[in-house]
Amino acid sequence: MKRIVIFLFLLVPFILLSQDQTIRLAVVPFDDTLTEASELEKAGSQAAYLMESAFQGSDIFTLRERNAIQDYIVAMEKVQLGLANPESLKRDPASLKVDFLTVGTVSKVYGKYEVDARTVGIDDMVIVHASGASGNSLSEALGDIQWAIKNRFNRAYINERTQEEEEKPVITVFKFRDSGPAGYGGTFAEILNSQMGTYGSLSVIERKYSKSLVNEKVLEMAGVIENDTSGSSFSLKGIQYKVEGDIRVFGDMCTLNYKIISTGNSRIVHIGSLDISSAASLRRAAWTISNTVDDVLNNKAGSLNVTSVPNGADVYIDGSFQGKAPLVLSLSVGNHKVEAKLEGYSPYEGIVDIKAKSVLAHAITMKPVSLKVFDTALAFERSRNWSGAVSAYEDIIKAYRGTGAANQSAYRKGHIEMQYLKDYDAAMKTFSDLVNEYPDTFIRAEAYYGLLKVNEHKGNTQKALELRDYILNNYGETNAADAVRGVNQLGE
């Protein structure tokens, strides 16, 4: 008997230690009202049940039944409806006997389930664990989330997420509006909230709590949603930034526009835009935007708003094509080379200095190409001053590099060098540069034809035949191909 007492005495600290290490939580019914299909199926209750099963299957969790915290759940629902003060959600963990709540949503978009689950601290509503998944069935989507709980959610993970060694930016996802009938906005806001909640370098507030700080429906009805009071309300609660945006549907393409706003002074610290092909890409888009948010708030990235006069200039950043102006880009902090090209206008080059938590507006005015430079070159050609013509075309190439004017000038220069100056080496270089530098199909075909003729003049018969076949096989619908067939002659 004495041995048994001693054994139990030694076991007590182990039992107490085990209890301290367990994670005390409760699962709140999942919201299934974001889409009509999920609401009709009452998918939220089933999702919450499956989540409870996942926690019950692990020894590290102590799960409190929903009915045991029913009063708290009712209070949460009232707060979300704007019928109660958000402070009513602040409860003593000892009285509720839980430290964390697991909340989530279920949507059904084009037959596919989108499920998001987030476990938050009951005292501050900061996300300590988040997971989201898509699936053809509810159980498939929940299966991925259950796997994440089993393999990644433990006390060590919580300790790592809640440590206060460094001050983290505090942010929440406010809203994403829909411009069409697709109804992606609410679903995407939940997906983004979950994705951001996985970042240890951010302190992400559960949006079900943050939305309750303002009565958004009243603001919409009053027509002041664009100038709402959410920023000041969030700021008072210690939320430093909010993310909001809209989703616009254009046929098969969706555009997600978003901005990060400082709640303290309502300043937009970042703007961004992302195109996706369908709802199947919502999670990938959330991952991309979350990365940007993380970089911006941790001083690694900023945004550039490029406009051009006239609109539609091709914009290149550090040599890489980004799209047509106007254009909003997320860029790493530091200097970047900006180039803009538009047919009929001189190319533009400039340097921008991107700063974190800042939107840099960069306006570009494109200058039209002067026709006088062509008049000079053509006048030299008419007078058979071939050297003068070559020199004039060189000036055009240098001044308007990358434009159609430079392309045509390079071809004329090469033709003169080959046909009249008999400088085959110079012509070879001119046509080779034209092939390598300009991607336009029509110009490349003409350049290859010029190389074919130079090789004929130099007696490189085999190379000329190879170029002939290449033009016919790759540029069969061009004037260069017709010239190879003998239908017409280029450059004459």
The number of C-alpha atoms within 13 Å of 86 and in the hemisphere containing its C-beta is 18
Encode pLDDT of 331-367 as tens digits. 999 999 999 988 888 889 999 999 999 999 999 999 8
CATH 2.40.160.20 describes domain 372-485: no
Q: What is the largest CA-CA distance in the chain?
A: 122
3-state secondary structure 160-227: HHHCCCCCCCEEEEEEEEECCCCCCHHHHHHHHHHHHCCCCCCEEECHHHHHHCCCHHHHHHHCCHHH
d(CA 323, CA 339): 11
Indicate the range of 27-41, 167-181, 379-393 predicted with least confidence.
Answer: 167-181
Whether 455 shows a pLDDT value over 60: the answer reads yes
What is the token pair recorded at 134? 């898509």
Q: Band of the pLDDT at 236, cuts 50, 70, 90? A: confident
Query: Looking at 45-54, 108-117, 218-227, which range is the least confident one?
Result: 218-227
Radius of gyration over every alpha carbon of the chain, rounded to an integer in angstroms: 32
Residue 284 has pLDDT above 80, yes or no: yes
Q: What is the pTM of this model?
A: 0.72
**Angstrom distances, CA of residue 70 to CA of 28, 94, 123, 207:** 9, 16, 17, 20
Q: What is the CATH number of domain 19-163?
A: 3.40.50.10070
Indicate the pLDDT class of residue 14, thresholds 50, 70 and 90: very low
**pLDDT grade, residue 80 (50/70/90)?**
low
Residue 87 scores a pLDDT above 80? no
Sheet holding 301-309, edge to edge: 327-332, 301-309, 359-365
Q: What is the pLDDT of residue 199?
A: 93
Confidence category of residue 222, pLDDT binned at 50, 70, 90: very low
Q: Which fold has domain 165-298?
A: Rossmann fold (3.40.50)
Q: Tell me which residue has tokens 């759940």.
A: 73
Domain limits, the chain: 19-163, 165-298, 304-365, 372-485
Structure tokens at 282: 């919502």
Confidence of residue 246 (pLDDT cuts 50, 70, 90): very high
pLDDT digits (tens, 9 = 90+) for 393-445: 998 888 887 777 888 888 899 999 999 999 999 999 999 988 887 666 567 88
Query: Which residue in this structure is represented by tokens 């071809």?
Result: 411
- Using pLDDT thresholds of 50, 70 and 90, give the confidence band for residue 226: low
Report the mean per-residue pLDDT for the chain: 84
> Could you give the percent of the chain with pLDDT greater than 70?
84
Which residue is it, tokens 């550039």?
Answer: 304
pLDDT greater than 70 at residue 3: no
pLDDT at 215 over 60: no
Residue 481: pLDDT over 50: yes
Does this chain's domain 19-163 share its CATH topology with 165-298?
yes
Query: At the topology level of CATH, where does 304-365 sit?
Result: Immunoglobulin-like (2.60.40)
Model confidence at 491: pLDDT above 60: no
pLDDT for 223 beyond 60 = no
115-167 residue pLDDT tens = 999 999 888 889 999 999 999 999 999 999 999 888 888 888 888 887 765 68
